[in-house]
Structure 1
């Protein structure tokens, strides 16, 4: 099987897994994956991640020109911004997962680091998660906002919209996205309970042990 055929199958497999577990719904969410020649596979616009056809996955050039498959998601500028600013990015996942979206609606969260430091795993897999403002879906300004971070964040939360996570490959991006949603859910469950977060010293130990970019 060719690289592109295998990658198209992989995108469909992980997309269906996330859809079946309720991490995305309807025709929300999108995935991209970078191939060895620098071109991208992207889920098509208006498609459901639970019912993707590998042959119809969009194949686009580095500049975003359609090479084969259906028309790509309108959020492609958001994806390409991560590839352009983080050289080690091999895949990007964007969802509208419920708990992550809910976290963006709260009035007292830290926009520089939305996720509370409740467990080491959110730190290890995500680093600090930046809250970006609201943009109309498909607005290229989302990509410009990511570029403005100069590659310093692998994950962001779009206010009133949803999370976007970049990883070294598709598996890493999906695992990090799952961790983001799980941490958001935990934060909402514990809200108002006086739950004990990790101390600065404990955070420092995790950052040092796993070489996390925490600046």
Structure 2
């Protein structure tokens, strides 16, 4: 059901929604409820429903959800994405990485192409910037480090987005952790990166 309040404003979509940490941060920063949450895991979506009962939930793979059907003619003000970070993180050590999981971030381009959110925010570990192809053994190809990331950014720019990114520490924004996180922000407008958006990114509850 479309909530009445969402009919008169841009909506907010939380991909890879988890238990609702990012949604809580967005709501604290904007004063607005997240309208749509998507996650394939029934446990995560069940928890999100408890924490955000007014949100419309989709228990499906992000690739199986059609953005056009989800928004139903509404404008998207913010599309948030927190794709799986384990296959970028240095905490993974020397274990083989999974190309498919690393490629989940490409869902940002599907949303950009189909419904053109005004702002797209992608949150991950700082090593996301090193995204490149993998060798047959599942290890990164060193001399192509960052090449897929650069292509990811260029393709957003070709779609008309202004792209910026930062590595921020949550403790600098009031969260009780020194962990660093990477935030990419793509905007369909000429504004400079706003402090509100930075704060929104950091307010998410850390997993």
- Report the TM-score when normalising by structure 1: 0.28
Q: Which has the higher strand share?
A: 2
